């Protein structure tokens, strides 16, 4: 398949449409579209972009798409890949939000949302569990987790302040050569 | 000027959230606290809807929050500005990919950021738990928790079951 900007857009639009729930499903979706069907990149490259996508701020699914888009067609490729992956999300929410404003006042809808609010707590718990596996790799990161948690939950510290603080600690740790990397690669 | 404020808030979410779509939630939660554009209860509804609509949850939630705050133009600004930092950063990083991957400082910062993002999200989860729970909710939560232990299930499963329980509980006036 030819790598035109239009093709890149359509491919990521399709992936964006099929993407339900957390961003974790993007890997198998991209595998089938980009590696198996289109043969634009190979499996190793995709996994590398996925890992890199997690080490850059922002939404992992979008980050992965931007990396792949850039690889295919430089900056224009990155831009159309972004548009493709974001558009389905944008359109579906606009449609739903308009309808929702009307129906949300009904009593039975309120009851459904009450239940779903509890479902969301479970989804967050699952996301934390997933992130924990990848992030809390030793005693030190475990401390970081609990300190961040306490500052955020009990003292309402702004998230950005905590992120910036941990960026500085990360740089300082490396500067002091306090950490050694053995098997810390993603 | 609400649009400029929206742009700044969501740009900073895109720039500072590490660990995927759910990592944007602590920021959106903070916005609910500080800016009062929407309530934390409304945010929880938005997350639920975002989990069942096409697209990455992080993008869905940003679009939704933008819509709540300032209509369609608001949702456009929120979506664009949450994605913009990623786009700019990745285009730059792609040009220097090899240096970026093996840089010790980069790896050290990421080593720090991952547990931080995880801790932030856990705090949101606990806060939502405390804010929305009653006896009936505790039972539902316990049930879903047990279900999550047995096998890996789709988010749709949890939302479907809890929506159904909510509907029935509402019928018997148990949703308090």
- Chain A residues with beta carbon closer than 8 angstroms to that of B57: 21-23, 59
CB-based burial label for B94 (10 Å; 0-12, 13-18, 19+): buried
Distance from CA of B103 to the nearest CA of A (A): 11
Are the beta carbons of A17 and B159 separated by less than 8 Å? no
Among A146, A151, A153, A170, CA closest to A161: A151
Q: Are B45 and A104 within 8 A, CB to CB?
A: yes
Give the residue on B whose Cα is nearest the Cα of A82: B87
> Taking CB atoms and an 8 Å cutoff, what residues of chain A touch B91?
66, 70, 75, 78
A46 within 8 A of A31, measured Cβ to Cβ = yes
Contact B53, A93 (CB under 8 A): yes
Alpha-carbon span B118 to B18, nearest angstrom: 9
Are the Cβ atoms of A79 and B21 closer than 8 angstroms?
A: no
Q: Which of residues 22-41 of A touch B (CB under 8 A)?
A: 22-24, 26
Note the pLDDT of residue A126: 86
User: Under the phi-then-psi rule, with left for phi > 0, alpha for psi from -120 to 50, and beta for the rest, what region is A144?
Assistant: alpha
Chain centroid, CA B51 distance in Å: 10
Name the residue facing B111 among A89, A113, A170 (closest C-beta). Answer: A170
Render pLDDT for A3-40 as a digit per residue (tens, 0 to 9): 899 999 999 999 888 887 555 567 778 888 888 888 99
Task: Compute the distance between CA of residue B52 and CA of residue A21 in angstroms, rounded to an integer.
Answer: 6
Contact A115 B47 (CB under 8 A): no
User: CA gyration radius for chain A?
Assistant: 20
Q: Does A103 touch chain B (CB under 8 A)?
A: no
CA distance A1 to chain B (A): 24
Q: Do B108 and A156 touch (CB under 8 A)?
A: no
For residue A170, what are the CA distances in angstroms to A162, A165, A166, B27?
12, 9, 6, 21
Closest partner CB to B83 (pick from A58, A60, A94): A58
Report residue A91 as tokens: 């359109």
User: What distance in Å separates the CA atoms of residue A26 and residue A89, rounded to the nearest whole number?
Assistant: 14
- The segments of chain B whose pLDDT lies below 50 read none
Per-residue pLDDT of chain A (186 residues; tens, 9 = 90+): 678 999 999 999 998 888 875 555 677 788 888 888 889 998 888 888 888 888 889 988 899 999 999 999 999 999 999 999 999 999 999 998 888 878 877 888 888 888 888 888 888 898 888 888 888 989 999 999 999 999 999 988 888 889 889 989 999 988 887 665 544 433
Which DSSP letter does residue A40 get? S
Taking an 8 Å cut-off on Cβ atoms, the answer to whether B125 and A156 are in contact is: no
pLDDT value at position A185?
38
State the pTM of this model: 0.83
What pLDDT does residue A124 have? Answer: 86
A47 touches chain B (CB under 8 A): no
What CA–CA distance (Å, rounded) separates B102 from A126? 31
Alpha helices in chain A (DSSP H): 5-18, 26-30, 43-54, 60-103, 107-135, 139-155, 159-175
The two structure tokens encoding residue B166: 């909510």
Which pLDDT score, from 0 to 100, does residue A23 have?
54
Which residues touch A103 (CB under 8 Å, ≥6 apart)?
A109
**A131 interfacial to chain B (CB closer than 8 Å):** yes
Q: Which residues contact B117 (CB under 8 A, 6 or more apart)?
A: A131, A135, A163, B17, B18, B19, B23
b/e code B109-131 from CB counts within 10 Å (16+ = b): bbbbbbbbbbbbbbbbbbbbbee
């Amino acid at each position: 398949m030819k790598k035109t900007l239009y093709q890149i857009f359509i491919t990521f639009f399709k992936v964006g449409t099929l993407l339900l729930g957390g961003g974790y499903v993007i890997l198998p979706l991209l595998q089938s579209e980009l590696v198996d069907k289109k043969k634009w990149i190979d499996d190793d490259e995709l996994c590398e972009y996925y890992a890199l996508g997690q080490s850059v701020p922002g939404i992992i699914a979008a980050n992965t798409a931007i990396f792949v888009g850039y690889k295919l067609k430089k900056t224009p490729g990155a831009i159309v890949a972004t548009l493709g992956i974001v558009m389905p999300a944008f359109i579906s929410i606009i449609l739903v939000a308009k309808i929702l404003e009307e129906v949300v006042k009904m009593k039975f809808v309120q009851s459904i949302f009450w239940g779903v609010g509890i479902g969301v707590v479970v989804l967050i718990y699952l996301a934390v569990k997933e992130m924990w596996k990848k992030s809390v790799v030793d005693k030190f990161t475990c401390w970081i987790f609990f300190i961040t948690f306490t500052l955020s939950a009990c003292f309402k510290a702004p998230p950005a302040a905590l992120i910036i603080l941990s960026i500085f600690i990360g740089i300082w740790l490396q500067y002091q050569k306090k950490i050694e990397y053995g098997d810390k690669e993603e | 000027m609400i649009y400029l404020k929206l742009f700044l808030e969501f740009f900073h979410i895109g720039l500072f959230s590490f660990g995927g779509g759910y990592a944007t939630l602590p920021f959106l939660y903070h916005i609910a606290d500080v800016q009062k554009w929407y309530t934390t209860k409304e945010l929880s509804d938005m997350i639920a809807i975002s989990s069942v609509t096409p697209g990455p949850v992080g993008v869905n939630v940003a679009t939704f929050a933008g819509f709540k705050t300032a209509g369609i133009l608001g949702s456009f600004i929120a979506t664009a500005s949450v994605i913009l930092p990623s786009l700019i950063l990745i285009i730059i990083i792609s040009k220097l990919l090899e240096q970026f991957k093996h840089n010790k400082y980069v790896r050290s910062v990421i080593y720090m950021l991952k547990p931080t993002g995880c801790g932030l999200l856990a705090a949101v989860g606990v806060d939502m738990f405390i804010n929305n729970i009653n006896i009936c909710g505790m039972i539902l939560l316990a049930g879903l928790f047990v279900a999550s232990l047995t096998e890996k299930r789709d988010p749709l499963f949890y939302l479907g079951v809890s929506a159904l329980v909510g509907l029935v509980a509402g019928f018997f006036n148990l949703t308090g």
